[in-house]
């Protein structure tokens, strides 16, 4: 199980890799400005996918992030 610090770092890496530094900061600012209901978001944010397909997508994404982190020397 990952620590909260590890989860936070992984989340920030994912944001920076996908949005860039400036847009990642904007996203964090947006979240802190408005109320956020994770349960409601979860119901509507992800498309309806079979578990196996969602797992394949997640694994490909994780492999991509691992490769980018290696390329950046894990400094993202």
36 vs 21: CA distance, rounded Å: 22
- Pick from 62, 73, 67, 72: which is nearest to 2 by CA? 62
Q: Report the pLDDT value the prediction gives residue 9, as an integer from 0 to 100.
A: 92
Give 63-74 pLDDT, tens digit per residue. Answer: 887 777 676 665
Reduced to 3 states, what is the DSSP secondary structure of residue 43? helix
Q: Which pLDDT band, with edges at 50, 70 and 90, does 53 fall under? A: confident
Please state the domain extents for the chain.
4-71
Q: Report the pLDDT value the prediction gives residue 10, as an integer from 0 to 100.
A: 92
Nearest 10 degrees: Cα torsion 68, 42, 25, 57:
10
Rounded mean pLDDT of the chain? 82
60 vs 64: CA distance, rounded Å: 6
């Amino acid at each position: 199980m990952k620590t909260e610090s590890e989860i936070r770092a992984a989340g920030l890496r994912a944001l920076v890799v996908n949005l860039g530094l400036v847009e990642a900061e904007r996203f964090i600012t947006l979240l802190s400005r408005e109320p956020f209901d994770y349960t409601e978001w979860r119901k509507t944010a992800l498309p309806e996918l079979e578990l196996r397909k969602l797992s394949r997508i997640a694994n490909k994404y994780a492999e991509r992030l691992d490769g980018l982190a290696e390329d950046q020397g894990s400094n993202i």
